[in-house]
Amino acid sequence: MMGPGGNFCLDTSRDFVVCANYLGSPYGTTSPTTADPHKANGAPYGADFPAPCSIRDNVRLQRKLLDHLGVTHLRLAIGGSMGCMLALEWGATYPEFVTEMCLVAGCGRHTAWAIGIGRMNPEPEP
């Protein structure tokens, strides 16, 4: 799927590939297990971690990462399962920034639970 040369869908000799971890995940990004810089004793955020982290929150953070890296356009946003929702959000939030999307094993509709989680973190008023 990914490697150098024309035999791969994602040609790493031509394409710059960025894969960012999900905000709130303890596997490489800021999460409830991360030390809270505002706590004098270096304790983790724990229950003080801002939650829930929405798909849109993550795409906005990814955009900040790409801005920091100097990336000015995405040729492709690709993702499977939850990554599919991230790719869809890229297209919805930054349509001028993304040329194509590859959506793998995404959901056709949200459950009431997923909709409720999304509404817990509404957009701020302009």
Per-residue pLDDT of 81-110, as tens digits, reads 888 889 999 999 999 999 999 999 887 777
Evaluate whether residue 57 is within a structural domain.
yes
- 86 φ, ψ (degrees, to nearest 5): -65, -45
Evaluate whether residue 124 is within a structural domain.
no
pLDDT in tens, 29-83: 888 999 999 998 989 999 988 877 888 989 999 999 999 999 999 999 999 888 8
Evaluate whether residue 126 is within a structural domain.
no
Evaluate whether residue 125 is within a structural domain.
no
Q: pTM for this one?
A: 0.76
> What's the structural domain count of the chain?
1
Range of the domain at 17: 2-119
Convert the chain into a string of H (helix), E (strand) and C (coil).
Answer: CEECCCCCCEECCCCCCCCCCCCCCCCCCCCCCCECCCCCCCCECHHHCCCCCCHHHHHHHHHHHHHHHCCCCEEEEEEECHHHHHHHHHHHHCCCCEEEEEEECCCCCCCHHHHHHHHCCCCCCC
What CATH number is given to the structural domain containing 37?
Answer: 3.40.50.1820
Contact 51, 17 (CB under 8 A): no
Evaluate whether residue 22 is within a structural domain.
yes
